[in-house]
């Protein structure tokens, strides 16, 4: 069998290379075997990642069992929760491209035969998948898994509970001591935050794409099942190498369509409209933003997890996870797609069995009795977002699907957050936060602090937020992000003034500024774009990144 790694180790001419390998402790037998890189995003900064060192040990055990030789290296990993609400969030989305580049550099330089990816949180998993698609070698992904929810006053809580409790404290609904209790117990340990936020959404969609073994997306971080999946993934990689099953053999257009179908059915994070097209681009597949809305109109939302519902990721896991969701949607999916099992999705689903039937029926609805008749994400257009904007409709109160209000405009997130904390936002306001797009931010910050503060103050169902930035998967309420073109590119959001009337019509997918087209032209003509002095990685990012409606990718 010819191996990619033979370029680094085979023949007399590679004696120096083998000598260096032996300096790391490798034997001749290990050098002869296929080389598999374990790409790990472990670090000590993030609860979603603190356990990945142990998960890698399980994966490497499986790789060795399959007579392959593992090599582990690490990528960077930023926690959106810790970066939230300050300058740090500018660096989260740019890290996606850097992660993909760093993996490409390491794998290309050392000519590895396969990869086992171990990512977890928000931009890290997409970065790993982008690299996998770009490199197009045999790859399996083992996502880190969800955190358990915490308990306070006999109720389940999570990170969003803490964010929203800050707002409750600001309106004297809870005391400082009560806030401290929630802070202490909301996040009990390792794993990505307990609801269907971006990290867990991506874990689910990676499984739906066929890049993880069945059950991986919802397997909880601290349970033995996750380690068994890691070992089994390590064993399976040899089969993929032997049969030369590469990433792009799995990441086809039909597979991406399946992932979007599952995204709509579970009510996932709006960040998927950035990440799925970015991964597809690396496969030389173009996914227009409109495909999300096209599928949303056909696929009902049959799962409702925090922040949109009351269930947590542990409930979806007990209900059968993504395999159970896909079983319910069998007639809607492309079943002949290949997966990392080496078999088709149809074959995988034929083997799936429901272990907890009562929990399954409680969490995953039938298609004829869904939580919502349409999917969890809508794409809105209109004179305020000509190229599109995104809303997680599954987390919006059905009473405010149509909204009419006066704009309160802020040119950065900090000013909006300050106004909310000082109780300057009232019912029927439309908070507009601009110059936070991919170029204008730069980095397209998430506005979870703003939405959570409004929720804590009891305003989440009477105030709308609109931004050319984005929202956390943990955001709930009428929060419309990814407004394109962004303010920094002279998009209409840049000309909105305090007091302007904005009309939001979710059923009709429209977002409009209620002024005449002549007034829009006049304001645009006189518009002066606010420039920011940039340096370092943000300067390079702003110069290269494209609009949110294209996935905020690099050309």
Residue numbers annotated as active site: 472
Length of the chain: 555
Torsion angle, alpha carbons of 274, 544, 77, 478, to 10:
-30
For strand 429-433 and strand 501-505, is the pairing parallel, antiparallel, or unpaired? Answer: unpaired
What is the DSSP code (8-state) at residue 528?
Answer: -
Strands 464-467 and 114-118, how do they pair? unpaired
C-alpha 419/C-alpha 442 separation (Å) is 22
Tell me if 69 sits within 8 A of 101, measured CB to CB: no
Q: Helices 272-282 and 92-110 sit at what angle, rounded to 10 degrees?
A: 20
Q: What is the dihedral of CA 396, 399, 401, 403, to 10 degrees?
A: -110
CA angle 71, 77, 82 (to 5 degrees): 155
500 is in an annotated binding site: no
122 annotated as belonging to a binding site for a ligand: yes
The answer on whether 123 is annotated among ligand-binding residues is yes
Residue 272 — φ and ψ, nearest 5°? Answer: -65, -25
Asked, as a colleague might, if the bond just before 45 is cis with ω within 30 of 0, I would say no
Using alpha carbons, list the distances in angstroms from residue 292 to 35, 268, 273.
38, 12, 7
The helix (H) or strand (E) run that includes residue 380 is strand 378-382
Helices 159-170 and 448-456, interaxial angle, to 10°? 60
**CA 64 to CA 464: how far, in whole Å?**
53
Tokens 């405010």, residue located: 400
Task: Name the strands in the sheet holding 35-40, side by side, starting at the edge strand that comes first in the sequence.
Answer: 69-74, 35-40, 114-118, 139-141
Q: Is the CB of residue 374 less than 8 Å from the CB of residue 301?
A: yes
Which helix (H) or strand (E) segment is 157 a member of?
strand 155-157
Calpha distance 97→464 (Å, rounded) = 31
Question: Residue 485, preceding bond cis, omega within 30 degrees?
Answer: yes
Is 411 annotated as belonging to a binding site? no
Q: Cα 534 from chain centroid? A: 27
SS (H, E, C) 401-466: CEEEEEEEEECCHHHHHHHHHCCCCCCCEEEEECCCCCCCCCCCCECHHHHHHHHHCCCCCCCEEE
Q: Is 273 exposed, middle or buried (0-12, 13-18, 19+ CB in 10 A)?
A: buried
φ, ψ of residue 387 to 5 degrees: the values are -100, 5
Q: Nearest Cα to 551, choosing from 252, 281, 293?
A: 281
- Give the distance from CA 402 to its chain's centroid: 27
Annotated binding-site residue numbers for Mg(2+): 80, 122-123, 446
């Amino acid at each position: 069998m010819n191996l990619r790694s033979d370029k680094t180790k085979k023949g007399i001419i590679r004696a120096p290379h083998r000598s260096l390998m032996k300096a790391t402790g490798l034997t001749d037998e290990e050098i002869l075997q296929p080389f598999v890189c374990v790409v790990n995003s472990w670090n000590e900064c993030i609860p979603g990642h603190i356990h990945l060192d142990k998960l890698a040990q399980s994966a490497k055990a499986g790789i060795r069992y399959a007579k392959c030789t593992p090599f582990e290296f690490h990528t960077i990993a930023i926690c959106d929760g810790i970066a939230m609400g300050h300058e740090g969030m500018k660096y989260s989305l740019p890290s996606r491209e850097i992660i993909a580049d760093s993996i490409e550099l390491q794998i290309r330089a050392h000519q590895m035969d396969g990869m086992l990816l171990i990512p977890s949180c928000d931009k890290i998993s997409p970065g790993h998948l982008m690299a996998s698609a770009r490199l197009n070698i045999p790859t399996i992904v083992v996502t880190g898994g969800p955190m358990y929810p915490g308990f306070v006053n006999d109720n389940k809580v999570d990170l969003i509970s803490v964010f929203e409790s800050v707002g409750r404290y600001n309106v004297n609904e809870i005391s400082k001591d009560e806030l401290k209790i929630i802070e202490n117990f909301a996040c009990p340990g390792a794993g990505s935050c307990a609801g269907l936020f971006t990290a867990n959404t991506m874990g689910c969609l990676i499984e739906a794409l066929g890049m993880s073994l069945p059950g991986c997306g919802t397997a909880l971080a601290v349970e033995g099942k996750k380690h068994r999946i890691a070992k089994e993934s390590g064993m399976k990689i040899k089969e993929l190498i032997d049969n030369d099953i590469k990433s792009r053999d799995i990441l086809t257009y039909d597979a991406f369509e399946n992932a979007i179908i599952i995204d709509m059915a579970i009510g996932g994070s709006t960040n998927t409209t950035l990440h799925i097209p970015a991964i597809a681009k690396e496969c030389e597949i173009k996914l227009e933003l409109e495909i999300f809305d096209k599928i949303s109109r056909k696929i009902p939302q049959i799962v409702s997890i925090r922040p949109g519902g009351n269930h947590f990721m542990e409930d979806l896991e007990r209900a059968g996870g993504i395999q159970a969701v896909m079983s319910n949607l069998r007639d809607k999916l492309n079943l002949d797609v290949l997966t990392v099992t080496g078999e088709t999705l149809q074959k995988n689903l034929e083997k799936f069995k429901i272990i907890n039937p009562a929990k399954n029926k409680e969490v995953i609805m039938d298609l004829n009795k869904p939580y919502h008749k349409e999917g969890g994400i809508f794409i809105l257009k209109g004179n305020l977002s000509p190229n599109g904007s995104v809303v997680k409709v599954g987390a919006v109160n059905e009473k405010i699907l149509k909204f009419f209000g006066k704009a309160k405009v802020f040119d950065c997130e900090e000013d909006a957050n300050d106004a909310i904390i000082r109780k300057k936002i009232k019912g029927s306001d439309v908070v507009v936060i601009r110059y936070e797009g991919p170029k204008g931010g730069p980095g397209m910050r998430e506005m979870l602090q703003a939405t959570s503060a409004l929720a804590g103050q009891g305003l989440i169902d009477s105030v709308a937020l609109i931004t050319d930035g984005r929202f956390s998967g943990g955001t709930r309420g009428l929060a419309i992000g990814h407004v394109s073109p962004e303010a920094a590119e002279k998009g209409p959001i840049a000309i909105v003034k305090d007091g302007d009337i904005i009309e939001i019509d979710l059923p009709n997918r429209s977002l409009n500024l209620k002024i005449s087209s002549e007034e829009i032209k006049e304001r645009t003509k006189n518009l002066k774009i606010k420039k920011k002095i940039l340096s370092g990685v943000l300067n390079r990012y702003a110069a290269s990144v494209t609009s949110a409606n294209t996935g905020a990718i690099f050309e």
